[in-house]
Structure 1
Amino acid sequence: MLYGSEILTAAQMRAIESEAMDSGEVTGLTLMERAGAAIAGQIRLRWPKPGQATVLCGPGNNGGDGYAIARLLAQAGWSLRVLGLDNTPGANAAEMKRRWLETGPIAPLTESELHDSPASDVFIDAIFGTGLTRPPEGRIAAVLHKLGRMTGGSSRASLVTVDCPSGLCMDSGRWLGSGNGGKGAGPVPLEAALTVAFDSPKPGHLLDQGPAACGKLVIADIGLRRWREDGRPPSLSAIWPEFPIPDRRICSIRERARAVLDKGISAKGPAGHKYSYGHALIVAGASGHGGAARLTARAALRSGAGLVTICPPHPALSEHAGYPDALMRRGLDHAAGLQAILTDPRISALCIGPGCGVDRAVTFLPAVLEQPRPCVLDADALTALARSPDWPRALSGHHVLTPHGGEFARLFPDLAAKLGETSARGPAFSRVDATREAARRCGAVILLKGPDTVIAAPDGRACIHSAFDVPWLATAGSGDVLAGLITGFLARGLAPMEAAAFGAFVHARAARRFGPGLIADDLPEQLPGVFRDLGL
């Protein structure tokens, strides 16, 4: 499998827990104790010297986890203050509450009581977890706002969250009750130092505001693997996440990269020649606009494609006469000329869009789309595509579209508008929902770019690549390099979904390897080192 960890929605997680408990082999109380032990253990690893903690316990099972955490930390020598609600929770949470009361008292979960806990080193949010479907209101909302002020910014106190920060939709990464795609301040501006979730990451851990809100994410094993692994391939995955996963469904990054060797990404064998490893064609634009297409071509070369040809208009050929010398150049002025070039069966993938010019893209798109070859449509090609009202009918499973948010809005205005709506209830409409629906409508693979890149195929498969840790990747030309990587991998023989996923992964790895100060020209030069690091 090309991807990393399987991602579960909140509903899927609840179903797995229910199936495990219905089997009679594990009880809800056992799962709650394991969850509490996992979080208490992570806290002790991060803060080895016992300190003072305040645990905020909600009305349901998340609160039960909180009472278990408090008891286990107290046993390890921590000073605890526990705030909870005067309610009767479910049986398992009630038992955890009773066990805590044998250790210490429970103060009311109010803003004023929280205000009386300024000396705490760690605050633990166990109020609402994965399954929250409406924004926190009233007294609880006031408590969460206070908690955000006490643990945010320059505060010395750290926030640890159980499952997720309370109020965050775990299917979308959006703060419930917020508009603008969940990208505003949000009704509950929590920023955790550590979030511990169970069994599998959820979409909201990786999407939109999730990474910033959750901080360091740890996925804890609480013994549900048997009921999760039912032999069905996951419909949503993370691309090789950097956070640790506690079982062998995730192997090392090197081993995961080696999973693509049979698709031709490995080092070239002695029996091959340049055409054995693919010929990629890049349609370039007029004079003065060649830089983007050259970045794309350089990335396609560095991806391991055996041959890459860049095709500008004849008057612009001289602009492409310099580095790299390995790049082939061929003048291309008319659609008929492209059709003639594409009679060569050795051309195995195309890219149109970077630096092409919208009018030129309009001219060449019909010749490109009538071909059965894999093709990446990026930048100006996407704008040109959106000009035709019947454009989805022209696409197929051979095509990969790589829009940023603005281009996605031109192609799918209704989906983009839905992402910007206020989410009064969960699960909120997410970037995964939007990208999946877009891929289904047009029958092509869609890669929606961003720090939380989402890739979806027409059959519903999707994956998330979170690159919030490399903000320097947001630089002019970065997307052109990504388009070139995907084109090169398509030329090498990867299927469109796999080429897009592997391209996104390698792209971010190259940026991490270089570090701050990156410009797009640096990315292709990092690729040999990335491949060596991966053992390819």
Structure 2
Amino acid sequence: MRTAYSVETVRAAERELMARLPEGALMQRAAAGLAAVCAGLLRRRRGRVYGARVVLLVGPGDNGGDALYAGARLARRGAAVTAVPMDPERMHAGGLAALRAAGGRAAGTLPQRADLVVDGLLGIGGRGGLRPAAAALVERIPPGVPVVAVDLPSGVDADTGEVAGPAVTAEVTVTFGAYKPGLLIDPGASRAGALHLVDIGLELPEPEVEALQHADVAGLLPEPTASSDKYRRGVVGIVAGSAQYPGAAVLAVAGALRGGAGAVRYVGPAADSVLARHPETLIGPGRVQAWVIGPGLGEGRAGEVADLLAQDTAVLVDADGLRGLDPAVLRARTAPTLLTPHAGEAAALLGVSRESVEAGRLAAVRRLAERYGAAVLLKGSTTLVASAGGRPVRVNPTGTPWLATAGSGDVLSGLAGSLLAGGLSGADAGAVGAYLHGLAARRTGGPLLAQQVAEALPAAWRDATHP
């Protein structure tokens, strides 16, 4: 499990550790890790550290101090290191002295040529975008030069991933002690590049955000036993499709059939289309362990959604089924409920603009989970899964931009609904479903069709359970 912690939590852990260490020891640990990653990048790109031209963008705080001490280590290995401060009067005194003692220098402007730029402007303390002096330095980074961000790309909000104005786009981010949510959640995640975590000895509580790995998914996936039959493995019901959108039903069933349930039951007007593609499907009402309702449902079928929500059965609600949901009805339910909106649908459920949801995805998914008392899977460039009650939000680490294609969400709904029928909680079904869905898309490559994602799900399941 990859875990992420808020700035407040990290700062508190740092204070506790610093009280037990000699002054400056924590910064030296961070600088050593940063320098090692920079040296490795230089060796891969140019074969050696000696003679490399390294530029440090230096802010006034500890982030700038980390960069300066790391620069001193690189200078001692023969790199030509130049520090360019955001504010020359507020550079970290100890770090600057160490850099100069190692043969590095400070300059008022960025050199025109560089092999590596180290972003030590703001780090995790920055809020509200870059100030003009910092933005001016970022704009002058030579094109094509790799950037290593110190703890967090400057201009990215560490707690949310929000980007307000100009921000650094790093090839590598070296973060200290713990991952921060903004490194895992877009738009900040897309600015962070490859992540390297430097362990500096922090003792941390429960995380605010977590991302599943293969082993976590394998531990959650339902596996049949020798005594299993199709009913004990779970039956998932699909209420989807319409005369206008019969394909949504076909794709939702395709995802459900490959999601581990013992049987899939379809109820709706697209039965002929479903049977033509998936003859394994049961047709018509019957007993199920979970329902999926909404993909391609069309208008005027809110009564079907209300009927399912009134049952004491797990329900996944997607797409057209999300229209007009009553928070009081969902909060009164005792059976698992999973909502799977995209940003536009989430905006409608919250009564806000789509732009505000996209800009603050973490806050939006938490608000949805608390307002509706349900697990919520917020689809998008970073898929997030939240549940009511303050548990960590899960960030999906798999996927590809090629998933932005018609019908892929229908496949995900069927898959997650099948996992619900197999006994997973709403949050687990959403997180595991998103993980497998993303793995399947990666296997398919692109451009891809939603049906191809469904067909690749068994291979993605095997990837996660037998890496």
**Same fold at TM > 0.5:** yes
Q: CA-atom RMSD, angstroms?
A: 2.2
Q: Does the alignment pair 1:238 with 2:178?
A: no
Question: Are 1:170 and 1:205, in contact at CA under 8 Å, matched by a contact in 2?
Answer: yes
Following the alignment from structure 1 to structure 2, what is the Cα–Cα distance between the partners of residues 129 and 305?
A: 46
The aligned residue for residue 507 of structure 1 is 437
- Post-superposition offset of 1:373: 0.8
1:278 to 226, 231, 234: 234
2:198 to 220, 231, 234: 220
Question: Are 2:149 and 2:173, in contact at CA under 8 Å, matched by a contact in 1?
Answer: yes
Query: For 1:40-119, what aligned pairs fall within 5 Å after superposition?
Result: 40-48=35-43, 49-50=48-49, 51-84=52-85, 85-87=87-89, 93-104=92-103, 106-108=105-107, 110=108, 113-114=109-110, 117-119=111-113
1:355 to 291, 296, 301: 296
Question: Are 1:170 and 1:203, in contact at CA under 8 Å, matched by a contact in 2?
Answer: yes
- Post-superposition offset of 1:320: 2.6
Q: Does the alignment pair 1:172 with 2:169?
A: no
Q: Does the alignment pair 1:434 with 2:356?
A: no
1:412 to 339, 347, 350: 350
Following the alignment from structure 2 to structure 1, what is the Cα–Cα distance between the partners of residues 23 and 439?
A: 40
In structure 2, the gaps of 5 or more residues are none
Query: For 1:24-423, what aligned pairs fall within 5 Å after superposition?
Result: 24=20, 26-27=21-22, 29-48=24-43, 49-50=48-49, 51-84=52-85, 85-87=87-89, 93-104=92-103, 106-108=105-107, 110=108, 113-114=109-110, 117-147=111-141, 150=142, 155-175=143-163, 178=164, 186=165, 188-224=166-202, 227-228=203-204, 230=205, 233-240=206-213, 253=214, 255-260=215-220, 265-266=222-223, 268-313=224-269, 316-330=270-284, 341=286, 344=287, 347-360=288-301, 362-383=302-323, 385-386=324-325, 398-414=336-352, 418-419=356-357
Question: Aligned AA for 2:263?
Answer: L
- Post-superposition offset of 1:444: 0.7
The 1:290–1:462 alpha-carbon spacing in structure 2 relative to 1, beyond 3 Å, is farther
Higher relative contact order (CA 8 A, sep 6+): 1
- Post-superposition offset of 1:392: 5.1
Question: Are 2:327 and 2:372, in contact at CA under 8 Å, matched by a contact in 1?
Answer: no
Aligned with 2:371: secondary structure? helix
Question: Aligned AA for 1:87?
Answer: E
The aligned residue for residue 413 of structure 2 is 483
- Post-superposition offset of 1:36: 1.2
- Post-superposition offset of 1:105: 5.2
Percent of residue pairs bearing the same amino acid type? 34
Question: Are 1:289 and 1:355, in contact at CA under 8 Å, matched by a contact in 2?
Answer: yes
Question: Are 1:451 and 1:467, in contact at CA under 8 Å, matched by a contact in 2?
Answer: no
- Post-superposition offset of 1:492: 0.4
- Post-superposition offset of 1:419: 4.2
Following the alignment from structure 1 to structure 2, what is the Cα–Cα distance between the partners of residues 440 and 212?
A: 27
Question: Aligned AA for 1:192?
Answer: A
Aligned with 2:169: secondary structure? coil
Provide Cα deviations, 1:216-275, integer angstroms capped at 9, x if missing partner.
221221222xx11x5xx43421233xxxxxxxxxxxx2x3233225xxx12x22211110
The aligned residue for residue 423 of structure 1 is none
Q: Does the alignment pair 1:16 with 2:43?
A: no
Aligned with 1:82: secondary structure? strand
The 1:487–1:389 alpha-carbon spacing in structure 2 relative to 1, beyond 3 Å, is closer
The two structures have a TM-score, normalised by structure 1, of 0.81
The 1:419–1:492 alpha-carbon spacing in structure 2 relative to 1, beyond 3 Å, is closer
Provide Cα deviations, 1:264-311, integer angstroms capped at 9, x if missing partner.
x12x22211110100100013333422112211121111110010111
Question: Are 2:76 and 2:103, in contact at CA under 8 Å, matched by a contact in 1?
Answer: no
- Post-superposition offset of 1:369: 0.8
Following the alignment from structure 1 to structure 2, what is the Cα–Cα distance between the partners of residues 43 and 435?
A: 36
Following the alignment from structure 2 to structure 1, what is the Cα–Cα distance between the partners of residues 114 and 414?
A: 51
Following the alignment from structure 2 to structure 1, what is the Cα–Cα distance between the partners of residues 311 and 64?
A: 58
The two structures have a TM-score, normalised by structure 2, of 0.92
Question: Aligned AA for 1:366?
Answer: A
